A and B are shown apart, each in its own frame.
Chain A
Amino acid sequence: MIYLTRKCEFSASHYYYNPKLTPDENQRIFGKCANLNGHGHNYTLEVTVKGEVNPKTGFVVDLKELKEILNREVLEALDHRHLNKEVPEFANVIPTTENLTIAIWNRLQSKLNGAKLHRVRVYELPDLFVDFYGEP
């Protein structure tokens, strides 16, 4: 089994606010992230796929194809977008890095050919990242 990781970047804005909570509770839990005017990050996405090496090509996965899938399924939807307002997954879900990582997993999982999705890692900052392995 070989694991292959492809990395890309996107920039987006968001805020954290749960309308079921009071303004005070939102402020206490989310702090400055609850500012409804939003703020933004440069995110780094690492997608790791796993599989056996194809003896004909020497590849686990066609990197060009993986790049196209990432562009189409993730970057076109998220890059230079407001996650709360423009990305359907976050209409009623707070776009934390945890939920963003799960959403990217769900976008990619059924789209990969040949290799299996192993891990999605999203860096919100160089010192903060979330991993999702598809665990329930």
Chain B
Amino acid sequence: MKAHLTRRYIFSASHRLHSDELSAEENHAIYGKCSNPYGHGHNYALEVTVSGQVNPQTGMVCNLADLDDAVQRGVLDRFDHQNLNSRQELASAVPTTENLSAAVFNILQQSFTAAHLERVRLEETMMNSFEYSG
């Protein structure tokens, strides 16, 4: 039997949505107050969904401690209380939550192999969320 397991994590980070390839006016037109020069921050909620056969010996898709460990090392240690613009993982991209979702997915796909990574879902605020499935 194949089940999907989702775990939710919280981290806080700052960012500025700004592209050096655009003029100041264009940045302002596209990103609005998100382009203010000193940045701003969010409490992000990350949901990581993995799937796989339920192991008959343990009753689990994967050991939650292993997933927590992979997310702690791969995501929380990297991004929590950081400025996303300064992170090498997002150096070539504007740190929108779209790009952050893809970066988080790619990190976890590399580092967590105990179950199939189905999806990451990132809530930037209570009002918007983003999903990436690779």
- B-side interface residues, number (CB < 8 Å): 19
With A102-B1, A132-B3: A126-B58 Cβ-Cβ less than 8 Å: no
| Chain B residues positioned under 8 Å from A128 (CB to CB) | 5-8, 64
| Chain B residues positioned under 8 Å from A29 (CB to CB) | 58, 63
Looking at A2-10, A15-23, A38-46, A49-57, the stretch in contact with chain B turns out to be A15-23
Does A24 touch B at the CB level, under 8 Å?
A: no
Please tell me if the beta carbons of B4 and A131 are within 8 angstroms of each other in the complex: yes
Chain B residue with minimal CB distance to A129? Answer: B6
Looking at A58-66, A90-98, A109-117, the stretch in contact with chain B turns out to be A90-98
Task: Name B's A-contacting residues (CB within 8 A).
Answer: 1-9, 49, 54, 57-61, 63-65
Partner of A130, one of B3, B8, B58, B63: B3
Q: How far is A20 from B59 in the complex, measured between Cα atoms in Å?
A: 13
| Chain B residues positioned under 8 Å from A101 (CB to CB) | 3
Task: Name A's B-contacting residues (CB within 8 A).
Answer: 16, 18, 20-21, 29-31, 93-99, 101-102, 126-133, 135-136
| Chain A residues positioned under 8 Å from B6 (CB to CB) | 128-131
Please tell me if the beta carbons of B1 and A135 are within 8 angstroms of each other in the complex: yes
Q: How far is A73 from B61 in the complex, measured between Cα atoms in Å?
A: 25
Please tell me if the beta carbons of B4 and A127 are within 8 angstroms of each other in the complex: no
Partner of A102, one of B5, B9, B49, B54: B54
Please tell me if the beta carbons of A127 and B7 are within 8 angstroms of each other in the complex: yes
Partner of B58, one of A94, A97, A136: A94
| Chain B residues positioned under 8 Å from A94 (CB to CB) | 58-59
Sample (18) of A-B pairs whose CB atoms are under 8 Å apart: A29-B58, A30-B58, A94-B58, A96-B58, A98-B3, A98-B60, A101-B3, A102-B54, A127-B8, A127-B9, A128-B6, A128-B7, A129-B5, A130-B61, A131-B4, A131-B49, A133-B4, A135-B1
